[in-house]
Structure 1
Amino acid sequence: MNSIDRSRRRLAVAAAALAGYVDATGFLSANSYFVSFMSGNTTRLGVDLVANPHTAVVPALLILGFVVGVFGGALLAAKAGQQRKFAVLSLVAALLAGAAVAGRSAELELAMALLVLAMGALNNTFQRDGEVSVGLTYMTGALVRFAQGLAAKVLGNGGAGWGSWLMLWLGLALGAVAGAFALLTWPAYALWLPALWALVLALLARRIALN
């Protein structure tokens, strides 16, 4: 976060909020499984393998889908060059729109598959030298960097930029609140909002790349 300018930091926070929103809707729709938090699904996989082996296929497929999403997004990002953010976020918007259509048709399995693909692809939005520079769907690293930066500031050893990592975490947390509220209040329309959200972010990313 510290190595990118303010407009890109805002884009990152908004994208993290998108991830939080989508993960909350998936969590509430699919028996407390995740569509973006693969550490949680890995724990569920381990527990299910011991306690309920017949259900272990669910987290396993979600993890596989996420990996496929990251893989496909990485290929697209590599081909898109300077318009990487626009291309990746456009793909995410299309996948989320597909999930919204599937959800309206009561095709929960298809909707979940498209959601997890979208969240995997989303992590290719911010790259440096072909690797993720800002993780958007997982916040453990962001909280570690926030806490380390805050400690460095208290010790007088720098720590500049710790607030940016805190904002990234807050983006995901507030997005999750919004996703849970939307799904419980307007379940028929809850998945259309993140599709539109991702499209707006794609257009903003294209504008940033052109400036």
Structure 2
Amino acid sequence: MVKLEKGNKYKRKFFMAMIFTFISGYIDILGLVSIGGMFLSFMSGNTTRIGYFLANGDFSFAIPYFIIIFAFVLGSFIGGILKELIKKEILLIVLISDILLIILSMIFYVCGLDWLTYIPLTIAMGLQNIAQVRVNKIVIGKTFASGTLHALGISLAKLVFKKEQPTTPLIYFTSWAAALLGALIGALLFYRIGLEFSLLTMLIILFLLFFWVLYLELIAKDTDILIEEN
């Protein structure tokens, strides 16, 4: 078992991890409801659809999924480069990048380039995967729900044999629930206010998060919220 973190440090790190997971669920659902089953952070689903279309000879239908996967890998590549070059303020850089990419998506949408709207969003999801936070020795905050659910099952098995803290499966479950909540709210907003205002809502959330982290890291000199090193 691991020694549990407590106090404000734990709360800040836990909140940061959950909000990033929430964002991934929120953005992912926009692709699903807007362009007919295309995921923006769940690449396993896109890969499965590529196989389905190729098996049926629908090569033209597979191309957009290849593009989305390429955009996700590109985002991860950019994130990896930034992480190597910038150590201390990488969390701020991730948030700034997300903000700029969402603004670019909104510009594409306003200009009538609907399909291009989703490429910057997918790049943002790939880039955001470097925003991993360690809470009680558990790395969370990624966009991979399958991995989170797998870890939840393993932690429950260890808990049966008293080899795990009760809080560990709870953390994994909460992380999954954050992604679910993001998808739920994203879908509800999309159907009521449309894509443009759904993106604007996320933009406001990211701005608020950016200024909060800016205060913690640069003004309060609190560096407890850090990107987990791979």
TM above 0.5: yes
SS at match of 1:81: coil
Which of 200, 204, 211 is the equivalent residue of 2:212? 204
Which of 127, 133, 154 is the equivalent residue of 2:160? 154
Structure 1 residue 138 and structure 2 residue 144: aligned?
yes
Q: Which moved more, 1:173-182 or 1:97-106?
A: 97-106
| RMSD of Structure 2 on Structure 1 (CA) | 2.0
Structure 1 residue 186 and structure 2 residue 193: aligned?
yes
| Residue segments in structure 1 that go unaligned for 5+ positions in a row | none
Give, in angstroms, the shift of residue 127 of structure 1: 6.9
1:9 corresponds in structure 2 to 14
1:165 corresponds in structure 2 to 172
Deviation readout 1:19-55 (Å, 9 max, x if unpaired): 1111101111111101111011110111111121221
Give, in angstroms, the shift of residue 183 of structure 1: 0.7
1:35 corresponds in structure 2 to 40
| Partners of 1:153 and 1:159 within 8 A in 2 | yes
SS at match of 1:190: helix
Q: Which moved more, 1:98-107 or 1:138-147?
A: 98-107
Give the fraction of aligned pairs with identical amino acids, expressed as a percent.
Answer: 25
Letter in 2 for 1:162: P
Tell me, in whole angstroms, the C-alpha distance in 1 between the residues paired with 2:46 and 2:54: 12
Tell me, in whole angstroms, the C-alpha distance in 2 between the residues paired with 1:204 and 1:78: 24
Which of 26, 30, 33 is the equivalent residue of 2:31? 26
| Partners of 1:83 and 1:206 within 8 A in 2 | no
| Residue segments in structure 2 that go unaligned for 5+ positions in a row | 223-230
Q: Scaled by the length of structure 2, what TM-score is found?
A: 0.83
Tell me, in whole angstroms, the C-alpha distance in 2 between the residues paired with 1:56 and 1:7: 41
Moved over 6 A (4+): none
Give, in angstroms, the shift of residue 155 of structure 1: 2.5
SS at match of 1:125: coil
Count of matched residue positions in the alignment of Structure 1 and Structure 2 = 206
Deviation readout 1:137-191 (Å, 9 max, x if unpaired): 1111111111211222222222442211111111100000011011110004111
Larger radius of gyration: 2
Tell me, in whole angstroms, the C-alpha distance in 2 between the residues paired with 1:88 and 1:181: 26
SS at match of 1:191: helix
Q: Scaled by the length of structure 1, what TM-score is found?
A: 0.90
Structure 1 residue 177 and structure 2 residue 177: aligned?
no
Letter in 1 for 2:163: N
Give, in angstroms, the shift of residue 203 of structure 1: 2.8
Letter in 2 for 1:190: S
Q: Which moved more, 1:80-89 or 1:200-209?
A: 200-209
Tell me, in whole angstroms, the C-alpha distance in 1 between the residues paired with 2:182 and 2:38: 17
Give, in angstroms, the shift of residue 135 of structure 1: 4.9
2:66 corresponds in structure 1 to 60
1:100 corresponds in structure 2 to 106
Tell me, in whole angstroms, the C-alpha distance in 1 between the residues paired with 2:185 and 2:38: 18
2:52 corresponds in structure 1 to 47
1:82 corresponds in structure 2 to 88
Tell me, in whole angstroms, the C-alpha distance in 1 between the residues paired with 2:119 and 2:22: 20
| Partners of 2:20 and 2:141 within 8 A in 1 | no
